[in-house]
Every structure is written in structure tokens, then in C-alpha cells.
């Protein structure tokens, strides 16, 4: 058993996709999409991060389940931190408004 | 039972506690991923601070975001993506035992890293000149005049720039550490320390570099692209 070796062609294709997405995200920012601007920017960023993690960081080809567990746990912690904190901050006004 | 160990000849670089090179490599890579998990938590705190303040002071964040140079930001994103490609190709060169290609790719990566830091330096210099550095000389007067449509309060505007400097600064610090790590890797690659059997340092150094790239992939839209649409 040895490591999986990815072809240079695939690496260059991933690089080209990342470059295109960068140009797209920078250009779309100038178009008025309302609140969707932020959503589009974050979706593109996540797509780019996913390409880097899966291909450049070889996660797509890893057979180590422990590594995958660590990655998923790390993302889960981040989501907990961001989501629960924002649930707090974004609803504070509602509570005070409801108070007599 | 013969008292000779199963493996009489140790493979080059194999530590005695591991069964084989693959297990050793997986252990190192797992360790790096654990470190990166702590890095996600480390940066996560900053991202949370950013989200909460952006939620509270959106107009100031929008105006602050308009004031930073989007061209430099986009070019820097491209520079980091190119550096990630050279890292990925470098790891491949190490897997195949191509010493010259590995040294070259590592050197190009270092150059991209230094280029990124230089562009970041230009950007920060502009911010110092515009009095956008939080502190006693901070002034949002130019933003207030430039964007009369946005209601800008100078105090929250300072929060945007504090976060801008803290987040890009922390990221730049990671880049500097990355450049240091890659100098070390280049030296050892040049000496011929890495072989197809043993090149773990290149691989986990690469994981670190890609991670720093991912942090930037998120910083770019969050700091530069908050609100670029034409003002009514």
C-alpha cells in the first residue's frame, strides 16, 4: 500500500477552477443581488475550500477514517461556535421587545 | 521463538514504534490534522467576533470594506492559489522522488508567499496613509465624505478596521511561519533528505500551507466583498 498519486493534469484543472471562482466572486460582488451577495460569496468560498481540502490536501483519496473524523469534528465545532453564538446575538432584540 | 525482531533492517527514517512507513506517515498526517483542528478553533473565535460586529454595525463594515483595495485583494487570492498549486505539485515531486523538481517548486512557493506578504504590506501602508489604523490618529472622515448615502459612525468603523488588521495580521503571521517552514523544507530537499519512502515533512508542511490558503479564501469575501454593489 502506498500513497495515492494524483496526476498533474488534475492539479492544474483544480487550480484553474479556483482561479475562475476567484474572478467570479470578485465580479459578482459588484452586481446588486440584495442579501444574496453575501450568500453567493460564501457559497463560492466554501466551494473553493472544498476543492483545496479534497484534492490539494488529498482528503478525497485518504483511507484513514481517523483523519476524516478529525476534520468533520473540527467543522462541527466551528459550526457550533458560530451557529449557537449567532442564535444568541440575533435574537436578543426579540427578547427585550417581548418584555413588559 | 527466535529473538531476532521481525524487522531486522530498519527502513530509512522508520521510528521503532511504528509497524511500517505507511503507519508512520498516517500518524504524522493525523497529528497535523489535529493541529489544524485547533487552528480552526483559533481562527473561529476571530470569525465569530467578525460576524457579531458585522451584524451589529453593518453600515460601517460595508463602508470599511469599500475602502480596502479589491484589486490587491484579488491578486493576493490568486497568488495564494498559485502557491497552493506549486505545493501540491511539490508534494507529488516528493512522492516520485524528483529532487530537483521538489526544490524548484518549494522555492517558487516561498516566492509566492513573500509576494503575498509584500502585497499585504502595500495594502497596510495605504491604510496607514489614510488614517484607517485604529488608535489615536484614526479618522473615518474620508469615508463619511465619500459615501454620504451610508450612515457611518467612526467608533464602529474602528471595529471593522481592528478586525481587518487582526485577521489579516494573524493570517500574515501564519504566512511568515509557512515561509520559514518551507525554507527548512527546501534546505532538506536540496540535501536529498526526502525520498518516495520518506517525505512526511513535505506532506504535512503542505497541509499547513493549504490550510492557511483556505483561511484566506474565507477572509477575502468577508473583508473585501461585504458591499461592493453600486450605491443608490
Q: In this structure, are A56 and A68 located in the same domain?
A: no
In a domain, B178, yes or no: yes
Q: In this structure, are A27 and A54 located in the same domain?
A: yes
Angstrom CA distances, B195 to B109, B185, B202, stand at: 20, 13, 10
Write out residues in chain B with pLDDT < 50, as ranges.
1, 7-8
pLDDT at A98 over 90: no
| CA dist., res. B134 & res. B138, Å (int) | 5
Q: Which residues contact B87 (CB under 8 A, 6 or more apart)?
A: A56, B105, B109, B206, B209, B210
pLDDT at B14: 85
Average pLDDT over residues A79-85: 95
Residues 41-70 of A with CB under 8 A from B: 41-42, 44-45, 48-49, 52-53, 55-57, 64, 66-67, 70
In this prediction the pTM is: 0.92
Is residue B45 within 8 angstroms of chain A, CB to CB?
yes
Q: In this structure, are A69 and A55 located in the same domain?
A: no
pLDDT at A100: 53
Q: In this structure, are A71 and A54 located in the same domain?
A: no
Average pLDDT over residues A62-90: 93
In a domain, B161, yes or no: yes
Domain, as residue range, for B43? 39-224
Q: In this structure, are A21 and A9 located in the same domain?
A: yes
pLDDT digits (tens, 9 = 90+) for B117-133: 999 999 999 999 999 99
- A49 and B230: CB-CB below 8 Å? no
Q: Which residues contact B166 (CB under 8 A, 6 or more apart)?
A: B46
Average pLDDT over residues A36-43: 95
- Supply the CATH number for residue B166's domain: 1.20.120.80
CA B141, B147, B148: angle at the middle one, nearest 5?
Answer: 90
Nearest CA among B162, B160, B163 for reference residue B60: B160
| CA dist., res. A8 & res. A14, Å (int) | 10
ipTM given for this complex: 0.91
Q: Over the range A41-76, which residues count as b (16 or more CB within 10 Å of their CB) and which as e?
A: beebbebbbebbbebbbbbeebebeebeebbeebee
Q: In this structure, are A39 and A75 located in the same domain?
A: no
Count of structural domains, chain A: 2
Q: In this structure, are A56 and A75 located in the same domain?
A: no
Q: In this structure, are A27 and A39 located in the same domain?
A: yes
In chain A, residues with a C-beta closer than 8 Å to the C-beta of B88 are: 6, 11, 14, 55-56
In a domain, B122, yes or no: yes
pLDDT at A94: 80
Q: How far is B80 from chain A (nearest CA, A)?
A: 10
DSSP string, B68-113: S-HHHHHHHHHHHHHHHHHHHHHHHHHHHT-HHHHHHHHHHHHHHH
Q: Are B70 and B221 in contact (CB under 8 A)?
A: no
pLDDT at B12: 66
CB count within 10 Å of CB B12 equals 10
pLDDT digits (tens, 9 = 90+) for B79-90: 999 999 999 999
pLDDT at B3: 54
Q: In this structure, are A47 and A75 located in the same domain?
A: no
pLDDT at A75: 95
Q: In this structure, are A45 and A70 located in the same domain?
A: no
pLDDT at B188: 97
Domain, as residue range, for A94? 64-100
Q: In this structure, are A57 and A68 located in the same domain?
A: no
In a domain, B172, yes or no: yes
Nearest CA among B217, B194, B92, B197 for reference residue A11: B92
Q: In this structure, are A34 and A82 located in the same domain?
A: no
In chain A, residues with a C-beta closer than 8 Å to the C-beta of B84 are: 15, 18, 52, 56
In a domain, B196, yes or no: yes
Mean of all residue pLDDT scores within chain A: 91
| Dihedral sign, Cα of residue A88, residue A29, residue B218, residue B59 | negative
pLDDT at B8: 46
Count of structural domains, chain B: 1
Amino acid at each position: 500500500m502506498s500513497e495515492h498519486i494524483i496526476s498533474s493534469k488534475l492539479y492544474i484543472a483544480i487550480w484553474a477552477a479556483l482561479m475562475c471562482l476567484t474572478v467570479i466572486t470578485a465580479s459578482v460582488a459588484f452586481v446588486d443581488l440584495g442579501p444574496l451577495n453575501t450568500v453567493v460569496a460564501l457559497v463560492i468560498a466554501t466551494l473553493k475550500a472544498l476543492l483545496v481540502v479534497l484534492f490539494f490536501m488529498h482528503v478525497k483519496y485518504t483511507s484513514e477514517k481517523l483523519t476524516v473524523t478529525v476534520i468533520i469534528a473540527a467543522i462541527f465545532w466551528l459550526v457550533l461556535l458560530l451557529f449557537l453564538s449567532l442564535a444568541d446575538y440575533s435574537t436578543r432584540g426579540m427578547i427585550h421587545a417581548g418584555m413588559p | 521463538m527466535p529473538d531476532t525482531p521481525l524487522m531486522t533492517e530498519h527502513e530509512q527514517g522508520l521510528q521503532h514504534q511504528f509497524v511500517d512507513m505507511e503507519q508512520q506517515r498516517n500518524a504524522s498526517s493525523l497529528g497535523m490534522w489535529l493541529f489544524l483542528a485547533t487552528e480552526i478553533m483559533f481562527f473561529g473565535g476571530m470569525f465569530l467576533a467578525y460576524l457579531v460586529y458585522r451584524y451589529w454595525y453593518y453600515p460601517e463594515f460595508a463602508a470599511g470594506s469599500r475602502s480596502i483595495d479589491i484589486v490587491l485583494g484579488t491578486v493576493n487570492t490568486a497568488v495564494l492559489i498559485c502557491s497552493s498549486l506549486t505545493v501540491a505539485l511539490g508534494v507529488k515531486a516528493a512522492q516520485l522522488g524528483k529532487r530537483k523538481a521538489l526544490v524548484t517548486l518549494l522555492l517558487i512557493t516561498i516566492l509566492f508567499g513573500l509576494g503575498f506578504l509584500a502585497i499585504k504590506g502595500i495594502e497596510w501602508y495605504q491604510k496607514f496613509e489614510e488614517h484607517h489604523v485604529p488608535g489615536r490618529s484614526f479618522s473615518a472622515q474620508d469615508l463619511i465624505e465619500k459615501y454620504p448615502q451610508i450612515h457611518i459612525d467612526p467608533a464602529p468603523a474602528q471595529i471593522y478596521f481592528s478586525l481587518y488588521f487582526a485577521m489579516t495580521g494573524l493570517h500574515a503571521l501564519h504566512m511568515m511561519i509557512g515561509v520559514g517552514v518551507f525554507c527548512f523544507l527546501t534546505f532538506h530537499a536540496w540535501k536529498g533528505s526526502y525520498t518516495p519512502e520518506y517525505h512526511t515533512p513535505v506532506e504535512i508542511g503542505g497541509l499547513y500551507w493549504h490550510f492557511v490558503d483556505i483561511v484566506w479564501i474565507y477572509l477575502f469575501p468577508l473583508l473585501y466583498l461585504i458591499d461592493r454593489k453600486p450605491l443608490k
